[in-house]
Amino acid sequence: MNTVLIIGAKSDIATALAHAYAKNHSNLMLAARKVETLQNVARDLHIRYRVEVTLHELDITDTISHRTFYESLTPKPQGVIIASGYMCEQKIAQQSLEKTLETINVNFTGAVSLLNTIANDFEARQSGFIVGISSVAGDRGRATNYIYGAAKAGFSTYLSGLRNRLYESNVHVMSVKPGFVHTKMTAKMTLPAILTADPHEVAEDILNAQQRGVNVLYSKWIWRYIMGIITCIPESLFKKMHL
């Protein structure tokens, strides 16, 4: 039976992913801050799907701990999903270096640090899959969300390069670019219903796409076309749109 490591396991999308992968007969390693609060979730997954679920303490910004964290995992997972993320309101982030750095450290630096270690192990074992949850926000900088967007753009580029590097080592890397999703992260936002997914829809999209070896997944699918249009708008026009 496969073991899948989920980073940022308290996220709403990650919880839905845990159900999707457990239902698909994968054992789970759930990693999060204050991970003991996931004990009931772990018990429920174990009873419901008859899979092994272990809990692991991890702060994605604590890069010094990443190597020890990974070395402590037994057995080593066959797949890893990075679901941790942090989005601060743009107006607050642009006035606060602390919030800006947290945005970069959670969404980019921390994820890169952990994946560097995991990628080396998967490369040596010549197998495994890596799923990184980035965002459509990384496809083009917008006035209303460019600090988070810049961190996600960095993460998307990292995943693209990693995919390129690990291709010949039989390790599959998938970038996920959700549009709007109903989660804690967007709870205070008014989102257009037709463009907004539920976490379980995104989780099903991710599981299916990962099993098919998709490289870049947009969820909902329509976001591929929306971002295709948005990235084609000339900069001279785009800067006047205040999107």
Ligand X SMILES: NC(=O)c1ccc[n+]([C@@H]2O[C@H](COP(=O)([O-])OP(=O)(O)OC[C@H]3O[C@@H](n4cnc5c(N)ncnc54)[C@H](OP(=O)(O)O)[C@@H]3O)[C@@H](O)[C@H]2O)c1
Judge whether 179 and 136 are in contact, CB under 8 Å. Answer: yes
- Is residue 12 within the footprint of ligand X (CB under 6 A)? yes
Stretch touching ligand X by CB under 6 A, among 9-17, 22-30, 161-169, 209-217 = 9-17
Span from 40-48, 116-124, 183-191, 232-240 in contact with ligand X (CB under 6 A): 183-191
Instruction: Check if the beta carbon of residue 158 is closer than 8 Å to that of residue 110.
Output: no
Tell whether residue 180 is a contact of ligand X (CB under 6 A). Answer: yes
Stretch that binds ligand X, among 7-15, 45-53, 210-218, 233-241 (CB under 6 A): 7-15
Min. distance of Cβ 198 from ligand X in angstroms?
Answer: 10
* Interface with ligand X, residue 61, by CB under 6 A: yes
> From the list 3, 27, 84, 100, which residue makes contact with ligand X (rule: CB under 6 A)?
84
Among 55, 73, 101, 185, binds ligand X (CB under 6 A): 185
How far, in Å, CA of 122 to CA of 119, rounded?
5
Based on the shown chain and the rule CB under 6 A, indicate whether residue 135 belongs to the binding site for ligand X: yes
CA-CA-CA-CA dihedral for 34, 132, 122, 106, to nearest 10: -40
Q: Does 133 bind ligand X (CB under 6 A)?
A: yes
Choose the binding region for ligand X from 17-25, 56-64, 91-99, 164-172 (rule: CB under 6 A): 56-64
Burial class (CB in 10 A: 0-12, 13-18, 19+), 123: middle
The residue type found at 233 is I
33 scored as a contact of ligand X (CB under 6 A) = yes
Residue with the CB atom nearest ligand X in the bound state: 85
Tell me the pairing of strands 53-57 and 79-82: unpaired
Structure tokens at 163: 């995919």
At CA 209, angle to CA 224 and CA 106, rounded to 5?
Answer: 75
List binders of ligand X among 139-168 (CB under 6 A): none
Least distance between ligand X and beta carbon 184 (Å): 4
Min dist. Cβ of residue 136 to ligand X (A): 7
Whether 84 and 182 have beta carbons less than 8 Å apart is answered as: no
Q: Is residue 223 at the binding interface for ligand X, with CB under 6 A as the rule?
A: no
Q: What does 138-203 look like in DSSP terms, one character per residue? A: GTS--TTTHHHHHHHHHHHHHHHHHHHHHGGGT-EEEEEEE-EE-SGGGTTS---GGGEE-HHHHH
- The footprint of ligand X (CB under 6 A) covers 8, 10-13, 32-33, 59-61, 83-87, 106, 133, 135, 178, 180-181, 183-186
